[in-house]
Structure 1
Amino acid sequence: METVAAAVAALTPRFAAAGIDTARLDARLLVAAVAGIRPQDILLRPDLPLSELARLRLDEYARRREAREPVSRILGVRGFWTLDLEVGTSTLDPRPDTETVVEDVLDRCVTPPGRILDLGTGTGAILLALLSEYPQAQGVGTDLMEEAVGLAARNAVRCGLAQRATFVQASWAAGISGPFDVIVSNPPYIPAADIAALAPEVRNHDPLTALVGDDHDGLGCYRVLIPQAKSLLSPGGLLALEVGIGQAAAVADLLALAGFSHIRVRADLGGVDRCVSGLLERE
């Protein structure tokens, strides 16, 4: 009977041949999932045998990964910050780059926020990560998609944060009452012309509505949500936005034109300027 270590060794070159940069890691994650163990346990128990049922399930998972379906979509779960979140077809698959927004808020908030708003919340990733760090805070997340609102609410329950998180179906901040101390958003920002060049994991599996930014430059959503956020922020409140490659300067200009000050740009772990944030001037 095949062992977990042997299964990882067999899958790794298959995934590499399919053009997957994280071949060995993905093999470990899938083998651990079908074996019902933690990925690190493969190193501790390399001779653990795979049952025939686990072997059949692994074959299915491997075919899907070779076709460039993300591991998180195959398993239905994505690790984000310190949380394990359910993912679905109606939302963006939250990625480590987006944790840059969480880091920026934690760095910039001198006083712990009381109310946090997440515009276009998707899985609820940013809001739930912040609520996990600020136990006194209450949060609201909005999303245009009813399915996303339901998914985010399930993730709040999953993370033990349902008592402090409310999710509402809305177009950005429509119908939302402030004030909020912190507002965050990871809006669609990719120009439609750039979609074809994206990795298959993104292009073929994330919903286009969560990827494509309005207007030719991908900045249309910022032009809508920044004024809305301003109207809901407390004086001195923080607005933190995820941005795409090469968009940081333009989004910083939009914040400045809207009256935000102390605007900062924060790079992700890959060195890409990924978060732009600013403070609402006090009267």
Structure 2
Amino acid sequence: MRLSGLPISIAEALRVAAGRLDGASDTPRLDAELLMAHALGVSREDVLLGRAGSVAPARFEALVERRLTGEPLAYITGTRDFWTITLGVAPGVLIPRPDSETLIEAGVAHFGSDGPRTVLDLGTGPGTLLLAALDQWPAAIGLGIDASEIALDIARANAARLGMAGRATFRHGDWAKGLAERFDLILCNPPYIAESEQIAHGVSGFEPHEALFAGPDGLSGYRKLACQIPPLIAAGGLAAIEIGSTQRTEVEAFFADSGCVVTCQRDLGGRDRAILLSRQ
């Protein structure tokens, strides 16, 4: 980064960038540090501890400019941490959110360390839930399904990079349509935002709309899943389906006649976050 045409220090570049990002981001200093680490090809820790040199790289300024447009940090750096893994992400896939870790937590509570043998991830995106589950339970195998070929290509690349290509299969599909086999653990994070709802430009302007919006009421995906998921849950198994924090009553009603025990899991913020279906 340069100031008046002259190179400046990393510390000064971070100060200037954080000031510019204030108002464009809820975490301006953190964003600046992560962008600097990406520009230098080092860890954030190296930046903070002064192990990354003294002069800010010229490419840092262009990264800051991208963030100022609202472009998600994960798309700029190309990665996002989720559960115990780091996933590659890019435009065309939904960026993993910490809230979705609630589904993995529900699986851990249900199966313990033994874990499921088979895992199904519907709407897998970059492989988020499936690969997190396979990392949690090294003896498990799984299938990820998505309607986006872009997402499936990224998911396969993530599986290969994480050493899970032999345990994770990815397939193009319409949710669980056409599946007949049963799975111990089914994970699903469907779109659940109503089409009329206003959301942040950094989300709506960059992330795929088909992974965000679900009809006039945000519930169209659950109407399909209510028919498709219950028959696929193995005896003793669990399905964990993410919901919007105000959707519990409506979504529970869709699964009321599923023949499963229906409960709700809250996230770390105390919000309703996942509908759980368990089969005895």
Over the residues paired in the alignment, what is the CA RMSD in angstroms?
A: 1.6
> Which amino acid in structure 1 is aligned with residue 223 of structure 2?
R
TM-score by length of 1: 0.91
2:121 to 118, 121, 124: 118
Could you report, residue by residue, the CA deviation over 1:160-205 in whole angstroms, capped at 9, with x for unpaired residues?
Answer: 11110000001011233311001010001111011xx211111111
> Which amino acid in structure 2 is aligned with residue 210 of structure 1?
A
Equivalent residue runs for 1:48-197 within 5 Å: 48-50=53-55, 54-55=57-58, 57-110=59-112, 111-194=114-197, 197=198
Post-superposition offset of 1:135: 0.7
Could you report, residue by residue, the CA deviation over 1:107-139 in whole angstroms, capped at 9, with x for unpaired residues?
Answer: 122452110000111111001000001111000
Provide closer, same or farther for how the CA distance between residues 193 and 131 of structure 1 changes in structure 2, counting only shifts above 3 A: same
1:17 to 8, 14, 23: 23
> Which amino acid in structure 1 is aligned with residue 190 of structure 2?
P
Tell me if the contact between 1:32 and 1:38 (Cα under 8 Å) persists in the aligned partners: yes
Any stretches of 5+ residues in structure 1 without a counterpart?
Answer: none
Could you report, residue by residue, the CA deviation over 1:239-279 in whole angstroms, capped at 9, with x for unpaired residues?
Answer: 10111130122222222222221x33222233321112120
Any stretches of 5+ residues in structure 2 without a counterpart?
Answer: 1-6
Tell me if the contact between 1:143 and 1:169 (Cα under 8 Å) persists in the aligned partners: yes
What is the CA–CA distance in structure 2 between the aligned matches of 1:150 and 1:162, rounded to whole Å?
12
What is the CA–CA distance in structure 2 between the aligned matches of 1:5 and 1:46, rounded to whole Å?
12
Q: Percent identity?
A: 39
Structure 1 residue aligned with 2:237: 237
What is the CA–CA distance in structure 2 between the aligned matches of 1:235 and 1:28, rounded to whole Å?
48
Tell me if the contact between 1:5 and 1:47 (Cα under 8 Å) persists in the aligned partners: no
What is the CA–CA distance in structure 1 between the aligned matches of 2:41 and 2:149, rounded to whole Å?
32
What is the CA–CA distance in structure 1 between the aligned matches of 2:55 and 2:179, rounded to whole Å?
51
Greater displacement, 264-273 / 162-171: 264-273
Q: Which has the higher helix share?
A: 1
Structure 2 residue aligned with 1:250: 250
Tell me if the contact between 1:237 and 1:279 (Cα under 8 Å) persists in the aligned partners: yes
> Which amino acid in structure 2 is aligned with residue 80 of structure 1?
F
What is the CA–CA distance in structure 2 between the aligned matches of 1:47 and 1:69, rounded to whole Å?
25
What is the CA–CA distance in structure 2 between the aligned matches of 1:4 and 1:266, rounded to whole Å?
43
Instruction: Report the count of equivalent residues.
Output: 273
Greater displacement, 156-165 / 221-230: 221-230
Structure 1 residue aligned with 2:47: 42
> Which amino acid in structure 2 is aligned with residue 31 of structure 1?
M
Post-superposition offset of 1:150: 1.1
What is the CA–CA distance in structure 2 between the aligned matches of 1:249 and 1:270, rounded to whole Å?
19
> Which amino acid in structure 2 is aligned with residue 145 of structure 1?
S
Tell me if the contact between 1:77 and 1:87 (Cα under 8 Å) persists in the aligned partners: yes
Superposed structure 1 runs of 4+ greater than 6 Å apart: none
Tell me if the contact between 2:40 and 2:52 (Cα under 8 Å) persists in the aligned partners: no
Tell me if the contact between 1:4 and 1:49 (Cα under 8 Å) persists in the aligned partners: yes
Tell me if the contact between 1:144 and 1:170 (Cα under 8 Å) persists in the aligned partners: yes
Post-superposition offset of 1:47: 7.6
What is the CA–CA distance in structure 2 between the aligned matches of 1:32 and 1:2, rounded to whole Å?
16
What is the CA–CA distance in structure 2 between the aligned matches of 1:90 and 1:22, rounded to whole Å?
24
Tell me if the contact between 1:251 and 1:276 (Cα under 8 Å) persists in the aligned partners: yes
Structure 1 residue aligned with 2:3: none
Tell me if the contact between 1:35 and 1:50 (Cα under 8 Å) persists in the aligned partners: no
Structure 1 residue aligned with 2:204: 203
**1:276 counterpart = 2:275:** yes
Post-superposition offset of 1:61: 0.7
